[in-house]
Amino acid sequence: MNRSHRKRRTSWIDITFSITLVALTIATIFLAFIYIKNEHVQFPQNIKNVTSTPTVIDTIDSNYPGIKIITETSNDSYAPFAIQYPQSLHSSFNDDVSTYIKNAKQDYLTKMEENKQIGAESPGELNISFETFPHRSGNYSFVFVNGSYLGGTNGVTQIRSFHLNPETGKSITIEDVFDHDQNRLEKLTVLVRESLYNDPTLKNFLFLEDMHFHTEPLWSNFANFAMTDDTIIFYFDEYVIAAGAAGAPIVAVPLGEVSDIIASEFKIKDTSNNEQQNEDTQTGEQNLESDKPEDDETGTTPEESIEDTDVITPPLDPSIKRVALTFDDGPDPKVTRQILETLKKYDAKATFFMLGSRVEYYPDIAIEVKEAGHELGNHTWTHSDLTKADAKKISNEINKTSSIIENVTGQKVTAFRPPYGAVNKTVHKQTNLPVILWDVDTRDWEHRNPIQLLDQVKMKTKDGSIILMHDIHQSTADGLDAVLAYLKNEGYIFVTASELLSW
Ligand code: ZN
């Protein structure tokens, strides 16, 4: 009896123990599952990391129903980024946006990785943000601003728009806005060009030929746009139709000006109500005005603008074509030397816009540039955007650089080029040196490709052009011979930037 009692108690202990064991096992598996899942949410595997710094992803609700905002940030010390984009309840829109973001990020990280492999140490930066424009029709325009900087050279701003009706999931296109009508597109072209000519902020900066090319009546030229209730806004990438100093140009056309060509669902109001339409048209114009920067110069006519922009590359002596080669961001012990060799071969004189900080490192190279008879230009000490600096910092950047170049070489600095072409009145006031920009951006810092260097020169160079290159990229030194051979064959003579402008 005692025995049987003991036996029964033993089996109860066994059962209790077994249940506990099973429960613990289930709990462990469950916790492990949650842990793995969280790990996936926080550290997605789809990013090609230059380094191991993790990407942090957050999702928040926006003020617009059905739209969430995703932010992806990486505080990597070499290739950091901060990206923000919308996601909706519609997968085709989400896929389009995600693909764009993924490509932009990949592009940046790949270029930074390439820079790293050639020993470039300056950190880069990628910022993608977006602005939301709701329209009464229920359509939303999302305008992405993609600012990338690859370290050491110029940054670039690119714009891309996406559209969504959150109710229907459909995306409007520019063709929809103008009823797929080619005649209307041609009228739009005229309006946009007039607006670009008239914009005082683009005065002296427009590349006329490029501007015409990128506003030809093709739908793709107007694909980046935003609709508001009273305005349609068109966006152009930085450097494409105007010098970098003008930023990424924007054209805001009041809907009142396109009421005869715009599709009916986007018209300002029911056209039978004339009073209302006039009121809205005026609001549109006011908005356009307020979009313009403060130092607005009024009273400019289209004709004046055209004449002024032509001044960039004046038609000189018609029998001789001149071109000024300019090299920024050096000196560099290997690349600058190779460039000097090539210039000598063609008996070409150029202008070198040097960084004071690099002259300090490589004084011998600065001396070689001077001894070869080239013009010495100032490109600041630290390559910072002077329009964001105060007068004291600006004059310090410029004066310190001129001093070191003149002390090292014994030759006067005769030209100044602000980093990124970024210049304003404060910058102008801090120096007596002529400020020299460019009209041919070879984009050598971006493609790093000798063939593309030549292509850019072929495409953009005309009599009186100033060509921008960088004597810190091996690809530029490698491609220069072909560029000079082409220009010489086309009948150009090579002059310094100051010679070109004083002709
Ligand atoms: Zn530069």
As residues whose CB is below 5 A from the ion ligand 1, the structure lists 328-329, 419
Q: For position 55, what pLDDT does the model report? A: 82
Q: Determine whether 444 is an active site residue.
A: no
Are 115 and 125 contacting, i.e. CB atoms less than 8 angstroms apart?
no
Residue of 328, 439, 441, 471 marked active site: 328
Q: CB count, 10 Å around CB of 440?
A: 22
**Structure-model confidence comparison of residues 417 and 125, the more confident one:** 417
pLDDT tier at 339, thresholds 50, 70, 90: very high
Query: In the β-sheet with 68-74, what is the strand arrangement from edge to edge?
Result: 56-61, 68-74, 81-87, 125-134, 140-149, 155-164
Q: For position 118, what pLDDT does the model report? A: 86
pLDDT higher than threshold 50 for residue 301:
no
Q: For position 10, what pLDDT does the model report? A: 57
- Rounded distance from Cα 27 to ligand 1 centre (Å): 60
Mean pLDDT of 185-196: 90
Per residue in 127-184, pLDDT (tens digit) is 898 888 888 888 999 999 898 888 866 688 889 999 999 889 999 999 999 999 999 9
**Structure-model confidence comparison of residues 62 and 308, the more confident one:** 62
- Rounded distance from Cα 404 to ligand 1 centre (Å): 18
pLDDT higher than threshold 50 for residue 297:
no
For the chain, give the mean pLDDT.
82
- Rounded distance from Cα 465 to ligand 1 centre (Å): 18
Instruction: Report percent pLDDT > 90 for the chain.
Output: 50
Backbone φ, ψ for residue 318 (5° rounding): -65, -20
pLDDT higher than threshold 60 for residue 21:
yes
Tell me, yes or no, if the pTM score tops 0.85.
Answer: no
pLDDT tier at 256, thresholds 50, 70, 90: confident
Residue of 383, 470, 471, 473 marked active site: 470
pLDDT higher than threshold 80 for residue 394:
yes
Select the highest-mean-pLDDT range: 36-40, 197-201, 495-499: 495-499
pLDDT higher than threshold 50 for residue 302:
no
- Rounded distance from Cα 327 to ligand 1 centre (Å): 9
- Rounded distance from Cα 153 to ligand 1 centre (Å): 5
Are 338 and 486 contacting, i.e. CB atoms less than 8 angstroms apart?
no
- Rounded distance from Cα 328 to ligand 1 centre (Å): 5
Report which of 359, 388, 379 is spatially closest to residue 153, judged by C-alpha positions.
Answer: 379
Q: Determine whether 229 is an active site residue.
A: no
Q: For position 277, what pLDDT does the model report? A: 37
CA 64 to chain CA mean position, Å: 27
pLDDT higher than threshold 90 for residue 44:
no
- Rounded distance from Cα 468 to ligand 1 centre (Å): 9
Per residue in 238-254, pLDDT (tens digit) is 888 988 878 889 998 98
**Structure-model confidence comparison of residues 477 and 136, the more confident one:** 477
pLDDT tier at 397, thresholds 50, 70, 90: very high
- Rounded distance from Cα 420 to ligand 1 centre (Å): 6
